[in-house]
């Protein structure tokens, strides 16, 4: 008998029929002898509808009241799911975030979980009941309702698994698991059995939308085994955990991309201390997140500063930068929409040489130009033209033979075999 | 500067436009220099929609989960109203029942308020903010969410007014106040300036749907002045309070009726102790409320027991009574649908003779047969044919000259003047 946390997203509980499907799956897990705590999101588009309602009252609704409003979404789901479970003869009890003991830090719409007592959840499980907990929400020390922001329900589930010492935290989603690349783009992408937290973090941050980075971080901190799996069938998905087994040392665990990037270049910046701080300080004050940053010396006494922002933030960033670039004496402010970032991720990369070269080679074989390169210990990212990102993904996937099984993969990383297309370009790095 | 509680029902906050109307009215009260705490219900039909959702999952949803579900309705309203107030530049903060300190007794869907600390409401008012409180809900000592059942939002408002020592609890509704009779039926019905708690209780219990009896009881216990008034204009409505001023001693404060009654007669019951207890014990066990009860001696050794139930409960009551009447040796079980109860209510009735006689006379003048008569200190009720209830209301209203001003009313109660219609019938009681 194991203690298991299961998390179902808004689509999985989007209507009464789907709520019953979820209830049946939970009920089966209980019948198999396990104790189950469930975390759910708001039904389907209900959060969007509540936001629209608020926006019809105020262009910028007060955040505290927005959290008060949004928290009702999950409260509806937990009540209905607990009803459905009991209708199936499976004892169940629902808890709001506050009742479950999710203590938050008081930031209304983007709270962090400070503590998760889960006292009543444990009591319910011991009494043989399924505990149904509202994701995405908690209450601070003054009983103020907070919501957790993006990835909140995933994070609630992982934090709950840590709090009740669950054997596994199952995240149910509409994909089969974590793939070496998005299977809609790379048809022979391979589902991974296991992946490390760090790899998952890079994959998630780089645009794989399966599991929110925040939940992965929470899993890593608390050593919670996360099982990303499909809500449509019972095949196993991908385990996210500290030590991966048979795939340990694999150079590349996957390819991820983000198509919503925009490039900004501040060209001909006088090479003086504090200029970069000035530029990025102003950008940060505008509430804009910067992703890749590259600074290059152009000619004596002058720099070019290149960076990327989310495409939606480009206009705002330019508004801030136009007067600023003049003030600091830069020569030109240049921007480019329609760029995408593609990344190769792998914990074993650090032990395997040639991954970066292989990636550049794969891109070159498709005649894809690289605008910016950025690397971490387990990731290499390139900014490329947006229209070529799927070609790039397929070329890299093919180059590293990610579709093959593990043994082949290992081999391919060390000695990439060439297809006819990249034969010419990549001979040099064999 | 006064502390004022305002309560707005579901229709008043049914959509965003109406929420803004309510916000403007609150804002005006604040601008006039008052401190305002507001109690609101769920928007329009949202409670009905949540109930329908639950019923689509289970024919009899577990009550605890039902309370969890329904409580979201008011939570949506308080958030939106607080947003609208702030949009109008009026500082405001919303509180769930739990946050406002509504401590309930743990009965999920029909809880009573055990305590109302209103600590955060007082803090908000002192800080110059409008406190917007969710009606109809609270939390018990274990932080379980309870709803208050019928009349819950009115009761929340009156209890809050008691807790924060408000000068008045204003109940906004779609009528102008409490009338001597329903103005849709009796066009010259008169709006009353003041009415006592007991009169209001009898009026409310007897079918005037303006203010729930439970809220009136709560007002009476805590001596809260309740102002029933229109949400469509700013004319004063009716004050419900302990001592009425200028109208004190008025014989009749109004006429109320209930069209959803059914009569049951157990005929020829052996006159033995315990028989009535047996009959009404069985009815009570079936969860059926009995209203009027009359027992009359029919002939030696035999009684007739007559009583009324809600029309919806008639079939269930008959199912219980059919075997029982046989078992106790009663002669016949008789029932009648399509009956209505009409009542004359007035705190001054006890000091004025002739009210009962006047009522019977008014009914006789319309040739309306009286099936059952029941009286309390401040009320006389008659069960009559349902199709004649509006005629009865108009005849009684006319007879006692309730449309006239107070001085005339006083006179008319002591010496009813006769119209041509009741001239013949009622000469005897002049």
Give the ipTM.
0.82
Which residues of A lie closer than 8 Å to B, measured between beta carbons?
16, 19-20, 50, 53-54, 56-58, 61-62, 64-66, 68-69, 71-72, 75-76, 78-80, 82-84, 86-87, 93-94, 96, 98-99, 143, 145
Is residue A236 classed as helix, strand or coil in its secondary structure? coil
Query: What is the C-alpha separation between A107 and A140, in angstroms, rounded?
Result: 9
Is residue A340 classed as helix, strand or coil in its secondary structure? strand
pLDDT tens-digit readout, B88-137:
999 999 999 999 999 999 999 999 999 999 999 999 999 999 999 999 99
- Kindly report the pTM of this predicted structure: 0.83
- Rg of the Cα trace of chain B? 24
pLDDT tens-digit readout, B329-348:
898 999 999 999 999 998 77
Angstrom CA distances, A344 to A173, A260, A374, A430, B16, stand at 23, 17, 11, 19, 49
Query: CB neighbours (10 Å) of residue B68?
Result: 29
* B131 CA: distance to closest CA in chain A (Å): 12
Query: What is the C-alpha separation between A120 and B144, in angstroms, rounded?
Result: 11
* B344 CA: distance to closest CA in chain A (Å): 45
**What is the DSSP-derived secondary structure letter of residue A191?**
B
The two tokens of residue B338 are 């399509």
Chain B hits for A57, CB-CB cut-off 8 Å, are 16, 19-20, 80, 83-84, 87
Ramachandran angles phi, psi of B260, nearest 5°: -105, 45
Cβ–Cβ of A64/B93 closer than 8 Å?
yes
Q: Compute the C-alpha angle A184/A190/A191, nearest 5°.
A: 95
pLDDT tens-digit readout, B357-401:
889 999 999 999 998 888 888 888 999 999 999 999 999 999 988
Q: Which residues pair with A297 in a beta bridge?
A: A303
Q: What is the pLDDT of residue A244?
A: 60
Query: What is the C-alpha separation between B245 and B196, in angstroms, rounded?
Result: 10
| Nearest neighbour of B75 by CB, restricted to A57, A68, A93 | A68
Residue of A nearest to B93 (CA): A65
The two tokens of residue B407 are 């001085």
Comparing C-alpha atoms, which of B268, B267, B238 is closest to residue B253? B238
Which of B19, B62, B94, B123 has the most A C-beta neighbours within 10 Å, making it the best mutation to test the interface with A?
B62
Which residues of B lie closer than 8 Å to A, measured between beta carbons?
16, 19-20, 50, 53-54, 56-58, 61-62, 64-66, 68-69, 71-72, 75-76, 78-80, 82-84, 86-87, 93-94, 96, 98-99, 143, 145
Q: What is the pLDDT of residue B363?
A: 92
Give all domains of chain B, ordered by start, each with its CATH number.
3-173 (3.40.1160.10), 246-430 (3.30.2130.10)
Q: What is the pLDDT of residue B251?
A: 73
Q: Which residues pair with B146 in a beta bridge?
A: B138
Is residue A23 classed as helix, strand or coil in its secondary structure? helix
* pLDDT by residue, tens only, chain A of 430 residues: 899 999 999 999 999 999 999 999 999 999 999 999 999 999 999 999 999 999 999 999 999 999 999 999 999 999 999 999 999 999 999 999 999 999 999 999 999 999 999 999 999 999 999 999 999 999 999 999 999 988 899 999 999 999 999 999 999 988 899 999 988 899 999 999 999 998 898 887 776 678 888 999 999 999 999 999 998 898 999 999 987 665 555 678 899 999 999 999 998 888 887 888 889 989 988 888 888 888 777 667 788 888 999 999 999 999 999 999 999 989 899 999 999 999 999 877 766 667 888 899 999 999 999 988 888 888 889 999 999 999 999 999 999 888 875 434 444 443 344 343 444 445 444 3
Is residue A424 classed as helix, strand or coil in its secondary structure? helix
The continuous run of DSSP H or E covering B290 comes out as strand B290-299
Q: Which of A215-219, B179-183, B291-295 is modeled with the greatest confidence?
A: A215-219
Query: What is the C-alpha separation between A398 and A185, in angstroms, rounded?
Result: 12
| Nearest neighbour of A65 by CB, restricted to B50, B82, B99 | B82
Query: What is the C-alpha separation between A201 and A211, in angstroms, rounded?
Result: 9
The two tokens of residue B101 are 């300190």
| Nearest neighbour of B69 by CB, restricted to A69, A79, A86 | A79
Comparing C-alpha atoms, which of B15, B355, B40 is closest to residue B170? B40
Query: What is the C-alpha separation between A421 and A191, in angstroms, rounded?
Result: 26
Place of tokens 């108009």: B394
Angstrom CA distances, B277 to B283, B285, B301, B333, stand at 10, 12, 17, 17
Are B23 and B8 contacting, i.e. CB atoms less than 8 angstroms apart? no
Number of H helices, E strands in chain A: 14, 18
Q: Indicate whether B406 pLDDT > 60.
A: no
Helix B63-87 to helix A63-87 angle (10° resolution) is 160
Q: What is the pLDDT of residue A426?
A: 52
Q: What is the pLDDT of residue A382?
A: 92
The continuous run of DSSP H or E covering A371 comes out as none
Cβ–Cβ of A16/B79 closer than 8 Å?
no
Ramachandran angles phi, psi of B387, nearest 5°: -65, -15
Q: Indicate whether B75 pLDDT > 70.
A: yes
Query: What is the C-alpha separation between A360 and A352, in angstroms, rounded?
Result: 15
Residue of A nearest to B57 (CA): A84
Are B86 and B25 contacting, i.e. CB atoms less than 8 angstroms apart? no
Ramachandran angles phi, psi of B123, nearest 5°: -60, -45
List the alpha helices (DSSP H) in B187-343.
Answer: 197-205, 213-222, 275-285, 314-327
Residue B60, C-beta contacts closer than 8 angstroms, at least 6 positions apart: none
Are A85 and A130 contacting, i.e. CB atoms less than 8 angstroms apart? yes
* B12 CA: distance to closest CA in chain A (Å): 16
Q: What is the pLDDT of residue B252?
A: 84
Query: What is the C-alpha separation between A3 and B392, in angstroms, rounded?
Result: 68
Which of A20, A55, A62 has the most B C-beta neighbours within 10 Å, making it the best mutation to test the interface with B?
A62
Residue of B nearest to A92 (CA): B65
């Amino acid at each position: 008998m194991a203690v298991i946390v299961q998390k179902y997203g808004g689509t999985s509980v989007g209507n009464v029929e789907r709520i019953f499907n979820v209830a049946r799956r939970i009920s089966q897990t209980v019948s198999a002898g396990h104790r189950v705590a469930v975390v759910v999101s708001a039904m389907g588009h209900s959060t969007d509808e509540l936001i629209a309602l608020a926006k019809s009252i105020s262009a910028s609704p007060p955040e505290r009241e927005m959290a008060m409003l949004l928290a009702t979404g999950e409260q509806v789901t937990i009540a209905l799911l607990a009803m459905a479970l009991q209708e199936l003869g499976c004892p169940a009890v629902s808890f709001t975030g506050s009742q479950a003991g999710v203590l938050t830090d008081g930031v209304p719409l983007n709270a962090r979980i400070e503590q998760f007592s889960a006292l009543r959840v444990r009591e319910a499980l011991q009494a043989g009941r399924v505990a149904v907990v509202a994701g995405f929400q908690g209450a601070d020390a003054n009983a103020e309702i907070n919501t957790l922001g993006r990835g909140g329900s995933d994070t609630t589930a992982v934090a709950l698994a840590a709090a009740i010492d669950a054997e596994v935290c199952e995240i149910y989603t509409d994909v089969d698991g974590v793939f070496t690349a998005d299977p809609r783009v790379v048809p022979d992408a391979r589902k991974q059995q296991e992946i490390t937290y760090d790899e998952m973090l890079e994959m998630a941050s780089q645009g794989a939308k399966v599991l929110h980075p925040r939940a992965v971080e929470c899993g890593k901190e608390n050593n919670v085994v996360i099982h990303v799996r499909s809500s449509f069938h019972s095949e196993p998905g991908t385990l996210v955990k500290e030590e991966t087994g048979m795939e340990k040392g694999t150079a590349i665990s996957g390819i991820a991309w983000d198509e919503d990037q925009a490039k900004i270049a501040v060209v001909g910046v006088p090479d003086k201390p504090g200029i970069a701080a000035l530029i990025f300080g102003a950008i940060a004050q505008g509430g804009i997140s910067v992703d890749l940053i590259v600074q290059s010396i152009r000619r004596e006494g002058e720099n070019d500063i290149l960076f990327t922002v989310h495409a939606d933030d480009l206009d705002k960033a330019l508004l801030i930068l136009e007067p600023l670039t003049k003030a600091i004496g830069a020569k030109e402010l240049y921007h480019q929409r329609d760029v995408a970032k593609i990344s190769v991720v792998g914990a074993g990369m650090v032990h395997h040489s040639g991954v970066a070269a292989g990636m550049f080679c794969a891109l070159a074989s498709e005649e894809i130009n690289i605008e910016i390169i950025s690397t971490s210990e387990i990731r290499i990212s390139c900014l490329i033209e947006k229209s070529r990102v799927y070609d790039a993904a397929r070329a890299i996937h093919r180059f590293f033979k990610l579709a093959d099984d593990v043994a082949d993969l290992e081999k391919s990383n060390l000695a990439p075999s060439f297809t006819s297309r990249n034969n010419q370009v990549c001979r040099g790095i064999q």
